[in-house]
Amino acid sequence: MIFVKKINSTTTFQVRQPVLRPGKPIESCIFEGDDLETTTHLGLYNNSKLAGIVSIFASCHKLFPQVGQFQLRGMAVLDEFQKKGYGERLVSEAEVCIKEQNGSLIWFNAREAAVDFYKKMGYEIVGDAFDIPTIGIHFVMRKMV
């Protein structure tokens, strides 16, 4: 059975660490604002196994004038569960959650390797590529919802 539910920030580390911070200490998995009331963490389960995660932060990007901006962070699916539609399901569920909070714009810093995944889901690049030290090239992407 596949299902998505809200999880707490520390549960995300089960996927953040192997996928997004491999070889780095568990502390590197803590994101500023993880435990704010306005932050939501979603986990996708394959039966009892946490297979993918995404986190939603109420956060404005200086490039955008809109009120009701939300940022996706920590989007990740365990290697063995990739290419099964789980990432797409997580982004869709995050969009529903953001619409329920009257969000108008979703943005994030996308890794270069994931840009085409997000494009398939209707997100567009805004601005130039930039480097996040020790992680790599990123692009700001956004979608109006």
CB of 87 to ligand COA, least distance (A): 2
Listed ranges 4-12, 31-39, 61-69, 84-92: which one lies at the site for ligand COA (CB under 6 A)? 84-92
Asked if 19 is part of the footprint of ligand COA (rule: CB under 6 A), the reply reads: yes
Residue found under tokens 């962070």 = 73
Asked if 82 is part of the footprint of ligand COA (rule: CB under 6 A), the reply reads: yes
Interface mask toward ligand COA for 40-79; x: CB under 6 A? -----------------------------------xxx--
Asked if 97 is part of the footprint of ligand COA (rule: CB under 6 A), the reply reads: no
d(CA 98, CA 94): 6
* Cα–Cα distances in angstroms (integers) from residue 28 to residues 18, 31, 135, in the given order: 11, 8, 12
Q: Map residue 119 onto helix, strand or coil.
A: helix
Asked if 120 is part of the footprint of ligand COA (rule: CB under 6 A), the reply reads: yes
Asked if 24 is part of the footprint of ligand COA (rule: CB under 6 A), the reply reads: no
CB 25 within 8 Å of CB 19: no
Asked if 1 is part of the footprint of ligand COA (rule: CB under 6 A), the reply reads: no
Asked if 117 is part of the footprint of ligand COA (rule: CB under 6 A), the reply reads: yes
DSSP track, 6-35: EE-HHHHHHHIIIIISTTS-GGGG--TTTT
* Cα–Cα distances in angstroms (integers) from residue 43 to residues 12, 89, 129, in the given order: 7, 10, 29
Q: What are phi and psi of 55, to 5 degrees?
A: -120, 145
Listed ranges 1-9, 27-35, 58-66, 114-122: which one lies at the site for ligand COA (CB under 6 A)? 114-122
Name the site residues for ligand COA (rule: CB under 6 A): 19-20, 75-77, 82-88, 110-111, 113-114, 116-117, 120
